[in-house]
Structure 1
Amino acid sequence: MEKKTKNWTKWIYWFTFAMATIIFYKTVDNIGQITNWLKGLLSILAPFAAGILISYILYIPCKKIENTYKNAKKIKILSKKARALSIFTVYMIVLVLIIILINFIFPPIIQSIIDLANNFGYYYDIAVKNINELPEDSFWKTEVITRIMKEIENIDIKQIINVELLTQYAQGALTAATKVFDIFVAIIVSIYILNSRSQIIGFIKRLAEVTFSDKTYKSLSKYFDRTNEIFFHFLSSQLLDAFVVGILTSVAMSILGIKYAILLGFMIGVFNLIPYVGAIIAVIIAGIITVFTGGIPQAIWMLIIVTILQQIDANIINPKIVGNSLKINPLLVILAITVGGAYFGIIGMFLAVPVIAIIKVIVEDYIDYRKQIKQ
């Protein structure tokens, strides 16, 4: 009997191994079809993922407005329908912001990009003429600058910027009609999640409680709360800081009479989302564009003003808005940004900082745990 059991075990083992080998072979052999299937599945689920992301971004504003409405005891309808009205209020605010962006902010930026692309050759010729008029021992006539100018001459700006597409957008011909359904689904999903968040969070907690041990559940809850706090605080504060920097830079450049002030201010604000390196890259690009469009003296003034604004941001605005809650070494931040940018592009560079902050928290907790064991 024992011998038969061993034989059966042996046959089951080899059968399982053979099936696993066949499945692995078929997977590798049909990797293209599987990849296409996964892409199709992700495409179908994209509106739901977008809805979850939207609800996550709007959760804190909704929560704060809901608490405000609940405390308004004198107005019964506000306290009674606080959640529904808070969701409605937040979406109205978002709608107003989108209308402002589409009607007042994006059009001049798009038009500036089109104008810059169309006149790039003209601005380049002016820049070369201004440089040629400088003394021979000038910094702008060194071999390095000469090489850079030659490289810039070879750039076809119209290939980098799709002028025709931007023109269509500016004229209102570009439409997102094909994505209307996906956007609609994403909004509906986000509203449902925001309205039913107590039930959804409660269900997830109950499921986690019965799935994991008490110790594991407490650890997961702790890291989930900390992760949520780090991500939301970083994202919201960095966006606000970038907006303030963009506005201040655009105003300062407009006062100096710099061409494309709104575009350059917007660009510096966006790049400011990437800590440390973003501001440097943006200032270099803005400086080069200003050399072409306004000459070297104006570019120098632009660099001085932007440097002053960056210092004000680093020492006054950023600490007030962002704070020092992350407390990450600058070298570690630069390393995280480099790795994030290499694998996930601009989004990876932006999200690298909160991710490395979370990893830092976990590693520090592990070190403390190991120290306690040794003691």
Structure 2
Amino acid sequence: MTSMNRFIKICIAVILVFTIIYLGSLVDFIFQPILSLLSVVMVPLMLAAFFYYLLRPLVKWMERPKLKKSWAILIIYLVVVILLVLFGIGVWPSLRTQFSNLVDNAPNLFSTLGKQLQELEQNGALSAILPENVSPLSKLTEYLNSGFSFLTNYVAGLFSFFSNFAVILFTFPILLFYMLKEGEKFGQKIVSFMPKRFREDTKKVVKDIDTALSGFIVGRVVVNVILGVLMYIGFLIIGLPYALLLTMVAVIMNFIPFIGAILSTIPIVIIGLIESPSVAIWSLIIILVAQQVQDNIISPYIFGKQLDIHPLTTVILVLAGGDAFGIFGMIVIIPGYMIVKIIIVKVYHLFFKRKWENA
């Protein structure tokens, strides 16, 4: 009888939640200003959270000589500004030149690519890959058109995403400063809001979430930087054009698990094929070797068992996040899943498993 009453209470709670959601949808105009404010604040807030976990170990290390946290943060800001200036002087001109040359030479590059494919078709090199009566040039045009429409949609989304650049520029450093200075108190506030009997469990959940996010973000940055260095050295050795630009794109895209590696490989192989088929093959080999080094040597050493997510689950999550929220969804879906998983597992052990085992 007691279990039946508990089941009825759960059903009533679920019905009430869905009723509240339905009633809220009828008066969504009331929440529209709040949603608009959140959409503006979300970008700088996510950036601040990302760099908070990235810079927090450095802030803690600088506090050891009894340096005040505020001064440690300001020194880090000064170093970051110096690094940005050095990047603007040393790296950005080369990157900008490669990008400008790539845009200016795009018609010639596509023409050269067509000639390369014609030669491969005449030599019979593509007959083993493509079905009969399939023209690689027509397929190339089809794929490129699809790719350009894909890129156009996402570039338009990125422009709208960063349309409030002034807001991001001025709010992001301020948010980051206070997160680095007061971030540890945020978890304490969450714990203090909970009933006393749940505070220890809540403290553990907050600590687990903090550890998981910190390990994931710092580990992802370290892994991507090492991957970029390996790829860039390999591209320089084989003489791949636009090596720096393509490496930067690959490093950024690699923040999207699995899908990003595939998307970044396509332009690299195309540019390599325009140069020569051998360069394309060597480019693909370098990417595969770098990915294997990352997956089998670097990632297990850095992440350990922190990223306990099945590869199939990762692919499904990334596809779902991309379908719902675009590139932004692909990037944040994995850490979001980690947070939800930790909370659900704790709630299950706290409210259900103990009762079922003791029943």
The TM-score with structure 1 as length reference comes to 0.72
Residues 46 and 145 of structure 1: CA distance in aligned 2, closer, same or farther (over 3 Å) = same
Residues 107 and 36 of structure 1: CA distance in aligned 2, closer, same or farther (over 3 Å) = farther
Deviations 1:339-361 (A, max 9, x none): 11111212211222222233333
Alignment equivalent of 2:169, drawn from 183, 206, 211: 183
- Structure 1: how far apart are the matches of 2:113 and 2:284? 17
Aligned to 1:54: 48
Amino acid across the alignment from 1:139: L
Aligned to 1:274: 256
* Secondary structure of 2:214 counterpart: helix
251-260 vs 140-149, which moves further:
140-149
Asked if the contact 2:223/2:298 (under 8 Å) is kept, the reply is: yes
Does residue 138 in structure 1 map to residue 125 in structure 2?
A: yes
Residues 97 and 41 of structure 1: CA distance in aligned 2, closer, same or farther (over 3 Å) = same
Aligned to 1:18: none
Residues 111 and 265 of structure 1: CA distance in aligned 2, closer, same or farther (over 3 Å) = same
Summarize the alignment of residues 323-338 of structure 1 with structure 2, pairs less than 5 Å apart: 323-338=304-319
Count of residues paired in the alignment: 323
1:264 Cα deviation after fit: 1.4
Residues 363 and 237 of structure 1: CA distance in aligned 2, closer, same or farther (over 3 Å) = same
Amino acid across the alignment from 1:245: L
Aligned to 2:286: 305
Residues 144 and 334 of structure 1: CA distance in aligned 2, closer, same or farther (over 3 Å) = farther
Summarize the alignment of residues 156-171 of structure 1 with structure 2, pairs less than 5 Å apart: none
Asked if the contact 2:51/2:176 (under 8 Å) is kept, the reply is: no
Asked if the contact 1:258/1:298 (under 8 Å) is kept, the reply is: yes
* Secondary structure of 1:100 counterpart: helix
Structure 1 stretches lacking a partner, 5+ long: 1-23, 73-78, 162-175
Summarize the alignment of residues 235-246 of structure 1 with structure 2, pairs less than 5 Å apart: 235-246=217-228
Aligned to 1:222: 204
* Secondary structure of 2:91 counterpart: helix
* Secondary structure of 1:133 counterpart: helix
Amino acid across the alignment from 2:333: A
1:115 Cα deviation after fit: 1.9
1:148 Cα deviation after fit: 2.2
Asked if the contact 2:250/2:261 (under 8 Å) is kept, the reply is: yes
Alignment equivalent of 1:256, drawn from 225, 238, 244: 238
Structure 2 stretches lacking a partner, 5+ long: 1-22, 153-161
Residues 322 and 97 of structure 1: CA distance in aligned 2, closer, same or farther (over 3 Å) = farther
Does residue 339 in structure 1 map to residue 320 in structure 2?
A: yes
Asked if the contact 1:83/1:195 (under 8 Å) is kept, the reply is: yes
Aligned to 1:322: 303
* Secondary structure of 1:102 counterpart: helix
Aligned to 2:33: 37
- Structure 2: how far apart are the matches of 1:324 and 1:199? 27
1:254 Cα deviation after fit: 1.3
Asked if the contact 2:48/2:176 (under 8 Å) is kept, the reply is: yes
Asked if the contact 2:241/2:271 (under 8 Å) is kept, the reply is: no
Aligned to 1:169: none
Summarize the alignment of residues 355-370 of structure 1 with structure 2, pairs less than 5 Å apart: 355-365=336-346, 368=349, 370=352
Asked if the contact 1:51/1:188 (under 8 Å) is kept, the reply is: no
- Structure 2: how far apart are the matches of 1:40 and 1:252? 45
- Structure whose alpha-carbon radius of gyration is higher: 1
RMSD between superposed Cα atoms in Å: 3.7
Asked if the contact 2:53/2:214 (under 8 Å) is kept, the reply is: no
1:50 Cα deviation after fit: 2.6
Amino acid across the alignment from 1:96: I
1:36 Cα deviation after fit: 6.2
- Structure 2: how far apart are the matches of 1:297 and 1:197? 52
Asked if the contact 2:52/2:179 (under 8 Å) is kept, the reply is: no
Aligned to 2:114: 128
Amino acid across the alignment from 1:115: N
Does residue 374 in structure 1 map to residue 357 in structure 2?
A: yes
Summarize the alignment of residues 8-47 of structure 1 with structure 2, pairs less than 5 Å apart: 37-38=33-34, 41-42=37-38, 46=41
- Structure 1: how far apart are the matches of 2:336 and 2:345? 14
Alignment equivalent of 1:105, drawn from 88, 91, 100: 91
Does residue 231 in structure 1 map to residue 213 in structure 2?
A: yes
- Structure 1: how far apart are the matches of 2:88 and 2:186? 34
Residues 310 and 150 of structure 1: CA distance in aligned 2, closer, same or farther (over 3 Å) = same
1:305 Cα deviation after fit: 1.8
Does residue 290 in structure 1 map to residue 290 in structure 2?
A: no
Residues 366 and 84 of structure 1: CA distance in aligned 2, closer, same or farther (over 3 Å) = closer
1:265 Cα deviation after fit: 1.3
Residues 326 and 253 of structure 1: CA distance in aligned 2, closer, same or farther (over 3 Å) = same
